[in-house]
Amino acid sequence: MMSLFFKRLAAGCLCAGLVACATQRPVLYPNAKYKQSGEQAAPRDIDDCSRLAQEAGVSPRGNDRVASGGVGGAAVGGATGAVAGAIRGGNVLDRAAAGAAIGGTAGAVHGAVRSGEPGSVYKGFMQRCLRERGYDVIGWQ
């Protein structure tokens, strides 16, 4: 019974994490350059700046937030499960394993959500590249 619960929980969290993994893109202010270039040219310029960043070795992903979130969540969940097992009684190892599974899944989903955020170096590269082309970056979506 419990293993079915954990399988469903993991599947649901994985789906939520995959939806959140899309990398954000810069949002441009509709200044004179944007209006002159048109709505079709601006996305091509964004893609070109992204290609230049990657050629320079700058990745949109700052680090592996999914894995680090999963490891951290598993550690916290395992410790919490062990404490709950010691307080409430029962098999401490089973409760620690259950806590680690839940914490690891939750941490991985949190890391996946955050992994959609570009790293600060990538953002800086993109903002400078687009500024040099005459665009104003007002945010990221």
| Mean pLDDT, residues 64-71 taken together | 56
Mean pLDDT, the chain, as a whole number?
A: 78
Number of domains in the chain: 1
* Whether this model's pTM surpasses 0.85: no
Domain ranges, residue 101: 2-140
> Residue 77 corresponds to which tokens in the numbers above?
């969940």
Predicted pLDDT of residue 58 = 96
Residue 23, Cβ density class (10 Å: 0-12 exposed, 13-18 middle, ≥19 buried): middle
Residue 97 confidence class, pLDDT cut points 50, 70, 90: confident
CA–CA separation, 130 and 30 (whole Å) = 13
Hunting for tokens 């969290």 — which residue is that?
Answer: 13
Predicted pLDDT of residue 56 = 97
The answer to whether the CB of 9 falls within 8 A of the CB of 102 is yes
> Residues 17-63: pLDDT tens digits?
444 456 899 999 999 999 998 889 999 999 999 999 999 999 998 65
The answer to whether the CB of 32 falls within 8 A of the CB of 133 is no
Residue 16 confidence class, pLDDT cut points 50, 70, 90: very low
CA–CA separation, 101 and 37 (whole Å) = 51
Predicted pLDDT of residue 18 = 47
CA–CA separation, 53 and 129 (whole Å) = 9
